[in-house]
Amino acid sequence: MQQTTTVLMTLANFLAGLLSLYSLLIWIRIILSWLKTGAENPVAYYLGKIVDPYLAWFRGIRSLVRPRFDLTPLVALAVLSVIQSLLRLFGSYGTITVMMVIALLLQTLYSFIVHPILLFFFILLVVRLFFCYKRSIHSITYIAMLDSLVGGFLDWTHRTFYPRQTVNDRKLVISSLIILIISWIGSSLILRLLLSLLSKTGI
C-alpha cells in the first residue's frame, strides 16, 4: 500500500510538471496573439496546434468574451492551475481533503479572475484620470475608447454615490478609483480570512 501511494505521488508530481509546461505554452501563445505575429509564424502555428484545442473548450463561455478582450484564456489557465495544484498537493502529502480543494478553488478564482480584472480596471481608470488632467484634440478619441470599457463602472459610481447630482469627470473617475481600490483590498482580506478559516478545519 505504501509503495503504491509513493508511485502515485511521483506520478502526480510528474503530471503537475507537465501541466506547468503546458500553462507556459498557453501564456506564450497569448503573448504572440497580442503581438499579431500571424499564422505564418511557425512558432505561433505549432503552439496553436498544441494549445488551441484546449482553449477552444472555453470559448463557448460567451459572457467572458467582449469585443476588445477575451477572458476565456484566463479561465482555461485557472482550471489548469487548480488541477496542477491538486496534483502537487497529492504529490507532497499523499492525500487531498475537501478543504484543500475549496481553498485552491478560492485562491485560483481570485488569482486568475478577480485580481486580473481589478488590475485591468485600475490601469484603465488611471489612464482615464490622466486624460482628465491633460486635454488635447486627440484625447477625446482616447476617452471615448476608455469609456467604452469603464463607462458602466463610472455610471454605477454616479448612480450610487451621486444620485441626482452633476459631477465633473475628474471627481467621478477619482471616486471610481477609490471604490475600486477599497474593493481590491477588501476582497483580498476576505480571501485571507476564508483561507484562514479553512486551514483550521481538517475535513
Q: Tell me which residue range forms the domain holding 31.
A: 1-96
- What is the reported pTM? 0.71
Residue type, 197: L
Q: Which of 62, 96, 130 is the last residue of a domain?
A: 96
Considering the domain architecture, whether residues 102 and 28 belong to the same structural domain is answered as no
**Per-residue pLDDT averaged across 94-115, rounded?**
84
pLDDT digits (tens, 9 = 90+) for 5-55: 788 888 988 998 999 999 999 888 888 777 665 456 777 778 888 898 998
pLDDT-based confidence at 178, cuts 50/70/90?
very high
Q: Do 196 and 125 reside in the same domain of the chain?
A: yes
Same domain, 144 and 88: no
34-48, 92-106, 169-183: range with lowest mean pLDDT:
34-48
Mean pLDDT of 127-132: 91
- Tell me what percent of the residues of the chain surpass a pLDDT of 70: 90
Same domain, 109 and 195: yes
- Statement: residue 64 has pLDDT above 70: no
